[in-house]
Amino acid sequence: MSLGTFDPATTRWPGRRGVRPRPLRIRLLRLRPLGLAVALTLVASLVTAPTSSGTPVATARPTPAYKDASLPVEERVADLLARMTLAEKVGQMAQAERGDVAGDPTQVADLFLGSVLSGGGSVPEDNSPAGWADMVDSLQEQALSTRLGIPLLYGVDSVHGHANLNGATVFPHNIGLGATRNVRLVKEIGHITAEETRATGPQWNFAPCVCVARDDRWGRTYESFGEDPELAARMSAIIVGMQGRPDGRDLAEPDRVLATAKHYAGDGLTSFGTGEGDYTIDQGITEVSRRDFRRLALSPYVPAVEKHDVGTVMPSFSSVDWTTDGLGNPLKMHAHDYLINGVLKDELGFEGFVISDWRAIHQIPGDYATQVAASVNAGVDMFMEPFSGDAVGYPQLIETLIQLVEDEVVPMSRIDDAVSRILTAKFELGLFENPYTDRTHLDEVGSKQHRKVARQAVAESQVLLRNKHRTLPLSPRARVYVAGSNADSMGNQAGGWTLTWQGGSTNVFPGSTILDGIEDATKGQVVFSEDASAPVPRKADGIVVVGETPYAEGFGDVGGPQWAWDPGDNGVPRPPKTMQLSDADRAAVETVCAQARSCTVLVVSGRPMEIPADLLSQIDSLVASWLPGSEGDGVADVLFGRKQFTGKLPVTWPRSVDQQPINIGDEDYDPLYPYGFGLTPKKRGR
């Protein structure tokens, strides 16, 4: 699919998950919580009946079963479903984008919308915890004003914390969490993410990504826990932190959210050169045997579904082409009846609902009716069709689904199954009893305790790859010279999906940069010169922080397109993505390593970077720092010995990009550092 033409009038990028921020003004309804809902309930519960004298009197109508919290969820779902019209049912299957309904929130009620989402960077005008809660509640008020009062489900991409929100705790991206190998810690991170997300209104998180990244040229490598399906399966326990105990027993609590296992399945296995549009690998074709597909792509979904009872699953943009059938017949995952209905729902017993990715059904061949029919019959239950107006989106989806049912292309039983799954989640989340935001934990967003956990995760994610002469850990009394493009950039160390879809090289949200952490950890003099142009003090230990600038999805593909639409970029396209250090970073390393007493290089990136042999020979210590998020102090904790290096590589570190794809178990496996490698120095150096 062509990425389309960027339209500055609508500030939309067609076909993409992210939404460019725009200065929308949201009219927040200031009614007291539950005021409208209570009024509607009172009206609905009164009917007039004549007395013996013929005078009408008010009598109580029995409470509908679906409103009775004492009844089993299955009974409540069945009762509500029986009361719904076809239009009300298919409305529940539609999801709109916040920016599209903000100008006319009555669409939520008029179309009986089941869900609204915030794409990357789509935030309320007041991007504060209370501002988010007010925004979600204003849309919820619209949903509750409908005949049946079915509450709205609001979804966000809290992929490394609730990072759309300025001031939230931003954790390391999954690639760093994979390096920790710490399942208990990952569960705690999931719980904190859920607490900060739900406290501000959204009850649904489009995370975690349990993909297995097998080619680091992929722009979503950092969203993966690593290249080993067993590691991804273990780390899927983050779902427990988000949702609580299986069977939805904790979902109604104010510190839990509905989780999403994504992207089902094989998105990390796509072949380079098959990417959609001008992407080189993202959304491409997974060319694999059925056996290897189960071993590599499906493995993490087994515990996600069978053990952790994940609430929703999101299919991948990618296609599958079975090598055993002869290549040349790729089928988009969103239309894959065998893998969604057959494997996910029937074989694995998935009882939640399947949510499409951002306009993903538009990549299915055929006209819109064909695309909708293929995906809904394959098992997609809710459709992320974010826009209205000129773009084909949620209004057209609703119209098309109604017509397909009337034409008997889609059976009513399929609609009822999809809506039952969606309603089950809403009942388990307690939204029929407590539809508005429970602000109990609002003050915990970005709290000191939450940041302490993030700092621990950063420290445990650091992987020491080289430590010549036992350079690390450094003494806190050392004189330190710091250089490099990523030393003092909160945006670079946080990566994509931070405040905006693509992220940005800014310092606009709270936290500590790596430089801040170094300055806090040392009692000696710290000199910072980003380009290493300042003189290096005598007997100074050098630290050079290099790596990548932020990106997301296909805009991070090696050789892929250049992003140029974040406001902070001022219309200047970002550099093409490679796995090589920039000329400026390489020059900084060479300068510092030639002059400092010792030379430590930190690589802040979402994947391994190529470190040529001639450059590596100049480096005393090399650290993979990944994308640590808001707590740069955690990096300093291991550099200066407050905590030990314990991280292990979640992916193979190649000698050069020409070795890609390279994974543990390959024939002729000869990386620079193998999967699972990581040094742990026992004693402090100088």
User: Among the options 100, 223, 357, 631, which is catalytic?
Assistant: 357
Q: Do 48 and 162 fall within a single domain?
A: no
> Looking at the predicted structure, is the pLDDT value of residue 29 above 60?
no
CA 446 vs. chain centroid, Å, equals 18
> Looking at the predicted structure, is the pLDDT value of residue 457 above 90?
yes
Q: Do 43 and 110 fall within a single domain?
A: no
Whole-angstrom distance, CA of residue 127 vs CA of residue 446: 14
Residue 371: both structure tokens together: 């695309």
Q: How many CA atoms lie within 13 A of 401 on its CB side?
A: 31
**Within a domain: 7:** no
Q: Do 160 and 54 fall within a single domain?
A: no
Angle at 223 between CA 219 and CA 228, to 5 degrees: 100
pTM summary value: 0.91
Which of 179, 228, 188, 123 lies closest to 628 in space, CA to CA?
179
Q: Do 186 and 293 fall within a single domain?
A: yes
How many CB atoms within 10 Å of residue 665? 9
Say if residues 388 and 107 touch (Cβ distance below 8 Å): yes
Q: How many domains does the chain have?
A: 3
pLDDT digits 0-9 by tens, 252-294: 999 999 999 999 999 999 999 999 999 999 999 999 999 999 9
Q: Are strands 463-467 and 621-624 parallel, antiparallel or unpaired?
A: antiparallel
Last residue of a domain, one of 11, 41, 62: 62
Q: How many CA atoms lie within 13 A of 67 on its CB side?
A: 15
> Looking at the predicted structure, is the pLDDT value of residue 59 above 70?
no
Q: Do 280 and 414 fall within a single domain?
A: yes
End-to-end Cα distance, the chain:
56
* Alpha-carbon dihedral sign for residues 446, 448, 452, 453: negative
pLDDT, position 19: 40
Last residue of a domain, one of 62, 79, 113: 62
Q: Do 340 and 469 fall within a single domain?
A: no
User: Among the options 134, 196, 530, 553, which is catalytic?
Assistant: 553
Q: Do 189 and 241 fall within a single domain?
A: yes
Summary mean pLDDT of the chain: 92
Summarize the confidence of residues 451-455 as an average pLDDT. 99
Which of 495, 565, 384, 450 lies closest to 129 in space, CA to CA?
450
**Within a domain: 686:** no
**Within a domain: 667:** no
Summarize the confidence of residues 327-340 as an average pLDDT. 98
Last residue of a domain, one of 46, 62, 78: 62
Whole-angstrom distance, CA of residue 596 vs CA of residue 333: 53
> Looking at the predicted structure, is the pLDDT value of residue 526 above 80?
yes
Residue 52: both structure tokens together: 């013996």
pLDDT digits 0-9 by tens, 556-604: 999 999 998 887 787 889 989 999 999 999 999 999 999 999 999 999 9
Domain span at residue 52 reads: 31-62
Band (pLDDT 50/70/90 cuts) for residue 682 is confident
Q: Do 242 and 136 fall within a single domain?
A: yes
pLDDT, position 444: 98
**Within a domain: 682:** no
Q: Do 343 and 217 fall within a single domain?
A: yes
For the chain, percent of residues with pLDDT exceeding 70: 91
Is the link from the previous residue into 37 a cis peptide, with omega within 30 of 0?
Answer: no
- For residue 594, give the CATH number of its domain: 3.40.50.1700
Whole-angstrom distance, CA of residue 84 vs CA of residue 78: 10
**Within a domain: 599:** yes
Higher-pLDDT residue of 9 and 17 is: 17
- For residue 226, give the CATH number of its domain: 3.20.20.300
Q: Do 57 and 195 fall within a single domain?
A: no
Q: Are strands 598-604 and 480-483 parallel, antiparallel or unpaired?
A: unpaired
Q: Are strands 115-118 and 204-205 parallel, antiparallel or unpaired?
A: unpaired
> Looking at the predicted structure, is the pLDDT value of residue 15 above 70?
no
Q: Do 516 and 392 fall within a single domain?
A: no
pLDDT digits 0-9 by tens, 628-645: 999 999 999 999 999 999
**Within a domain: 666:** no
Which range is least confidently modeled, 93-107, 164-178, 623-637, 671-685? Answer: 671-685
**Within a domain: 412:** yes
Q: Would you call 106 helix, strand, or coil by DSSP?
A: helix
**Within a domain: 542:** yes
> Looking at the predicted structure, is the pLDDT value of residue 13 above 70?
no
The yes-or-no answer on residue 553 being catalytic is yes
For residue 112, which phi and psi values (nearest 5 degrees)?
A: 55, 40
Q: Do 278 and 417 fall within a single domain?
A: yes
The yes-or-no answer on residue 357 being catalytic is yes
> Looking at the predicted structure, is the pLDDT value of residue 487 above 50?
yes
For the chain, percent of residues with pLDDT exceeding 90: 86
